[in-house]
Amino acid sequence: MKLFDRDAVEKALADRHEEVLNAVQSAYMLHSSDETSLPFSTFLRPKGHPDDRIIGLPAHVGGEFRLAGIKWISSFPGNLNLGMQRASSVLILNSLETGYPTALLESSRISATRTAASAALASATLHGTSDRVDTIGVIGCGTINIATIDYLFHVHPQITTVIAVDVQAERAQNFARIVKKSHPSTNIHVATDLDAVLREADTVAIATTDSSHWLTLPPWEKSGHQVVLHTSLRDLSVASLLAATNVVDDPDHVCREATTPDLAAQQTGNRDFIAARIGDLLLGTPLETSPNSRIIFSPFGLGILDLAVASVVMSSSSEAVEIDGFDPGTHATSTIEVNR
C-alpha cells in the first residue's frame, strides 16, 4: 500500500490548478453520465460534542479514473480557538480487482483543494463568457476560502478587487495579507459589514462554520449575474435560495442534513427550486436564467471529487512511501476454501 503524507500531497498539488480543475470537471460529468457509485455520506456526531462531526464519504468513479475509496473527515470548529485546523482527513483507496487497500492519503489538503476547484469551476461555468468578473467577495476567511480565492484567480484572471469579511477581524486581515502576497496588483479590502460584499461582488464565496441559516441576501442590482458559492451550505436563508436560480452538485445528496436546500425542499414540498446539476451544465445542458440575476451554487461536496483530486496526487507524486502489512495476508479459513 502506498502512503502519501501531507507534505507529499501538498507538493503534488502545487501549481497544478489546470489538472485539478480538469479532474473535478471530469468527475462531475461522469456523475451526470451515471458512471459513479455514490452512497449517502454518514455523519457521526459524538455525544457531548454538539458542534463536532466526523463524516464518511464512500465513492466510486469510473471513466478515466476507475477509483473507489472512502474519505473520513472530521470537523471540530473549536480547534480554531486553539490555533489548530478545523478539519482533518484521511482518504483510503481500494483495488477494484481485490478490494484490498492500495493507498492511504492525508486528505485535508485534497478536500480543501477539491472544494475550491469545484467552486471556481462553478463560478466560471455559471458566469459563462458574457459576464465580466472583476470583483470577488469572501465571507469567511479560513482555509477553504483561502484555497477558493486561489482557484478563482485561475479561472477569472481579470479579477481586480477582493472584498473580505470575517467575524474575526484578525483572520480577515491575515487573509488579505495572503492574497496581496500572491496577487500584489489586486485591490484588497477588509470590510466591516456584509453590505459591500453582497452588493458589489460578481462572485461571492461563503465558507463559515455558522449553521444557523443566518444570511438573507439583498437584491442584486448590478448588470450581469452574481454567482454565490454557498460552500458551507447552512449560511443562507431559505428565502434567499428561493429568490435565486439554484444549481447543485446532486439534489439527493444536498437536500439532507439541514442544509438550506434541505430546508427549502421541506418548506416547498418539492425540489422544483433546483434548476440544474453542475455536471449537466458541463455536458452542455443550457441553464435558463434571467439576465442581471443571482445564481446560487450549493455543492454538498461529493466523494468522487476527492477521488479525482487524489488521482492528480498519485500521478504527479514521486514521494509515496510503500508500506506492508495492510493486506489481510493468509487466513486458515481462506486456505480451506481454496483447497475445496
Is residue 333 very low, low, confident or very high in pLDDT (cuts 50, 70, 90)?
low
pLDDT digits (tens, 9 = 90+) for 39-55: 999 999 999 999 999 99
Same domain, 21 and 126: no
What is the number of domains present in the chain?
2
Q: What are phi and psi of 204, to 5 degrees?
A: -115, 125
**Which amino acid is present at 121?**
L
Same domain, 123 and 15: no
The confidence score (pLDDT) of residue 319 equals 86
Judge contact between 19 and 338, C-beta under 8 A: no
Q: Which of 236, 230, 246, 233 is nearest to 289 (CA)?
A: 246
Same domain, 255 and 317: no
Q: How many CA atoms lie within 13 A of 15 on its CB side?
A: 2
- 223: domain CATH number is 3.40.50.720
d(CA 327, CA 242): 50
- 319: domain CATH number is 3.30.1780.10
Q: What angle do CA 107, 75, 167 make, to 5 degrees?
A: 115
Same domain, 240 and 293: yes
Examine the pLDDT at 117 and tell me if it is beyond 80. Answer: yes
Same domain, 233 and 264: yes
Q: What are phi and psi of 209, to 5 degrees?
A: -100, 10
Examine the pLDDT at 119 and tell me if it is beyond 90. Answer: yes
Same domain, 93 and 44: yes
The overall average pLDDT reported for the chain is: 95
Q: How many CA atoms lie within 13 A of 321 on its CB side?
A: 12
d(CA 107, CA 113): 9
Residue 339: inside a domain = no
Q: What angle do CA 211, 217, 219 make, to 5 degrees?
A: 170
User: How far, in whole angstroms, is CA 199 from its chain's centroid?
Assistant: 24
Same domain, 283 and 147: yes
Same domain, 195 and 175: yes
Same domain, 167 and 275: yes
Say how many residues make up the chain: 340
User: Which residues sit opposite 137 in a β-bridge?
Assistant: 163, 204
The confidence score (pLDDT) of residue 340 equals 53
Q: What is the largest CA-CA distance in the chain?
A: 75
Q: What is the DSSP string of 280-335?
A: HHHTTPPP---TT-EEEEE----HHHHHHHHHHHHHH-S--EE--S-S----HHHH
Q: How far is CA 279 from CA 65, 302, 318, 333, in A?
A: 16, 12, 32, 45
Is residue 336 very low, low, confident or very high in pLDDT (cuts 50, 70, 90)?
low
Is residue 33 very low, low, confident or very high in pLDDT (cuts 50, 70, 90)?
very high
The confidence score (pLDDT) of residue 331 equals 76
d(CA 294, CA 317): 40
Q: Which of 255, 236, 234, 252 is nearest to 294 (CA)?
A: 236
Is residue 154 very low, low, confident or very high in pLDDT (cuts 50, 70, 90)?
very high
Judge contact between 215 and 137, C-beta under 8 A: no
Residue 48: inside a domain = yes
Mean of pLDDT values over 123-145: 96
Q: Which of 119, 80, 85, 318 is nearest to 207 (CA)?
A: 119
Domain that holds residue 208: 118-298
The cell for 215 is: 444570511
Same domain, 74 and 97: yes
pLDDT digits (tens, 9 = 90+) for 80-110: 889 898 889 999 999 999 999 999 999 999 9
Mean of pLDDT values over 279-307: 96
Examine the pLDDT at 185 and tell me if it is beyond 60. Answer: yes
Is residue 339 very low, low, confident or very high in pLDDT (cuts 50, 70, 90)?
low
The confidence score (pLDDT) of residue 330 equals 84
Is the pTM of the predicted complex or chain greater than 0.85?
A: yes
Q: Is 255 exposed, middle or buried (0-12, 13-18, 19+ CB in 10 A)?
A: buried
